Amino acid sequence: MPLVLGTSEADYALPCLRNAGFYGDKATDYCGVVNYYNGTYDLKPGGKHSPAVPFLRFIPLLRRVLGAVGYALSGPWLDEPEAQALIIYSDRAVENADGSLPADFAVNRHVPDITIADLLVDAQKFFGLAYSFHPVRRELSIRALRDVITDSQYRERVGGKSRTTAVTQTGFVLKMALEDDELNKTLDTAGCSCAWAPASRPSAPAPARCTW
């Protein structure tokens, strides 16, 4: 992905973020801030070093990931301002070994190492999302669950009056036996039968007995 030190890139952001432990003890000239910004991006503020660290935007990344398996993305949640502002934290700088900036960077170095299924499940749980897959159009539609709950097309189901019904059956019998009678000659058990008798009350457990 092309690297541009700007504030309006569609696929990633460069937030100015204080992170004193970004390099640990490996960089003594580190200023303690990534993506140092003071009107413009300055990677050498006060003679110190500030790394360029892109934070990928979640919605464009999700489109890219699903597009890799042939699925399009749609739904009203994608247009919400909160969703549009989501970015993914990264702890990797894009600079070369000599400190210079590359013309582009590898996207996979700035995302978690998880499967697509785990990504969708985690996003669904964290943001409270409703998914609707259309296998023919190969499209995933995303809505916020709060919109589903408040949708007037959905009605709250109210249970009816509880009731009990008297037991009218006499029970049932299960039988198990060997298919070959020759085997019965060497065994003490020729078969087994289990009988179940209904309880006198619907709420009481049904007694059972097995005979050999």
For the chain, the first-to-last Cα distance in angstroms comes to: 75
3-state secondary structure 43-90: CCHHHCECCCCCEEEHHHHHHHHHHHCCCEEECHHHHCHHHHCCECCC
Domain shared by 42 and 62, yes or no: no
Answer whether residue 155 is part of any domain.
Answer: no
Q: How confident is the model at residue 209 (pLDDT cuts 50, 70, 90)?
A: very low
Q: For residue 92, what pLDDT is reported?
A: 92
Answer whether residue 43 is part of any domain.
Answer: yes
Domain shared by 128 and 198, yes or no: no
Domain shared by 71 and 140, yes or no: yes
Domain shared by 145 and 186, yes or no: no
DSSP-assigned states of every residue in 4-42? ---S--SSEE---EE-TTSSTTS-TTB-SEES-BSSSB-
Answer whether residue 97 is part of any domain.
Answer: no
Q: For residue 39, what pLDDT is reported?
A: 92
Would you say the pTM of this structure is higher than 0.75?
Answer: no
Domain shared by 46 and 64, yes or no: no
Backbone Cα Rg of the chain: 32
Q: For residue 186, what pLDDT is reported?
A: 53
pLDDT in tens, 53-70: 999 999 999 999 999 999
Domain shared by 40 and 6, yes or no: yes
Domain shared by 12 and 50, yes or no: yes
Domain shared by 63 and 135, yes or no: yes
> Rounded to whole angstroms, how far apart are CA atoms 135 and 71?
9
Answer whether residue 139 is part of any domain.
Answer: yes
Give yes or no for residue 204 having a pLDDT over 70: no
Name the domain count of the chain. 3
Domain shared by 42 and 7, yes or no: yes
Q: How confident is the model at residue 111 (pLDDT cuts 50, 70, 90)?
A: very high
Instruction: Find where tokens 């894009």 sit.
Output: 94
pLDDT in tens, 23-55: 888 878 899 999 999 999 998 999 899 999 999
Domain shared by 79 and 106, yes or no: no
Token digits for 139? 């499209």
Give yes or no for residue 87 having a pLDDT over 70: yes
Q: For residue 157, what pLDDT is reported?
A: 67
Q: How confident is the model at residue 156 (pLDDT cuts 50, 70, 90)?
A: low
Q: How confident is the model at residue 100 (pLDDT cuts 50, 70, 90)?
A: confident
- In terms of residue numbers, what domain contains 4? 1-54+102-110
Answer whether residue 156 is part of any domain.
Answer: no
Domain shared by 64 and 2, yes or no: no
Domain shared by 136 and 47, yes or no: no
Residues above pLDDT 90, as percent of the chain: 57
Answer whether residue 163 is part of any domain.
Answer: no
Q: For residue 36, what pLDDT is reported?
A: 95
Q: For residue 167, what pLDDT is reported?
A: 64
